[in-house]
A and B are shown apart, each in its own frame.
Chain A
């Protein structure tokens, strides 16, 4: 079963613009993670935010978590063509020990 739902399904922006992707989930979580997948490749872990954290930064990435709304957002600032990929959120439910992935957002950055 997929708990995370990303929004939008696809996003196309110009290089230099910011990209924002959202993730909603259904049950309480232990942590929420974001991953990137380039076409035909494995996933790469980007950032993990715990349920007691509200915001986290890593380079050009900013992740927020609102547990009251059961939602998270991933912001990529000053996007580059190399950021073109699919982005997935994944949650670790509070009662479980597995990652549950959403369907992903396809980001295209045009140069």
Chain B
């Protein structure tokens, strides 16, 4: 987990509320990623950013939004438009696209 922090570890929200998950890295990596993991499944890409002030949608971007105002930070907002937001969210970074990724410890979001 070294170099990438995610907070909080557990997050509980009521349905209809937006919630922002934090991701910070001190590895000086250009690329950052957000993934969603559901029980017993692999990772699905939500959004990624290859450089500050630029980001692209991944495979399941609907209901999510991101910003990349600083190289170190890539927060993810889960909006009320996301129909099934309860999941384990993982943030990652890499020196450049296609290289090995370094993951944070994850945030488990529960929406009731």
Contacts and interface: CB of A to CB of B under 8 A. Distances in A.
7 contacts: A1-B59, A2-B44, A40-B88, A44-B103, A48-B99, A98-B97, A99-B101
Given A1-B59, A102-B42, A41 B106 contact: yes
A33 B100 CA distance: 7
Given A42-B90, A101-B42, A31 B106 contact: no
B42 A88 contact: yes
A45 interface: yes
Interface string B37-63: 000111111001010000000110000
A42 B42 contact: no
Interface in B78-106: 88, 90, 92, 97-106
Interface in A15-57: 30-31, 33, 35, 40-45, 48
Given A41-B1, A41-B105, A103 B100 contact: no
Given A98-B58, A101-B43, A103-B42, A42 B106 contact: yes
A92 interface: yes
Interface of A: 1-2, 4, 30-31, 33, 35, 40-45, 48, 88, 92, 97-104
Nearest to B91: A42
A18 B41 CA distance: 24
Interface of B: 1, 4, 6, 33, 35, 40-45, 48, 50, 58-59, 88, 90, 92, 97-106, 108
A4 B41 CA distance: 12
Contacts of B48: 98
Contact of B100 (A40, A42, A48, A100): A48
B104 A42 contact: yes
Contacts of A2: 42, 44
Contact of B101 (A1, A45, A100): A45
Contact of A98 (B1, B6, B45, B90): B45
Nearest to A29: B98
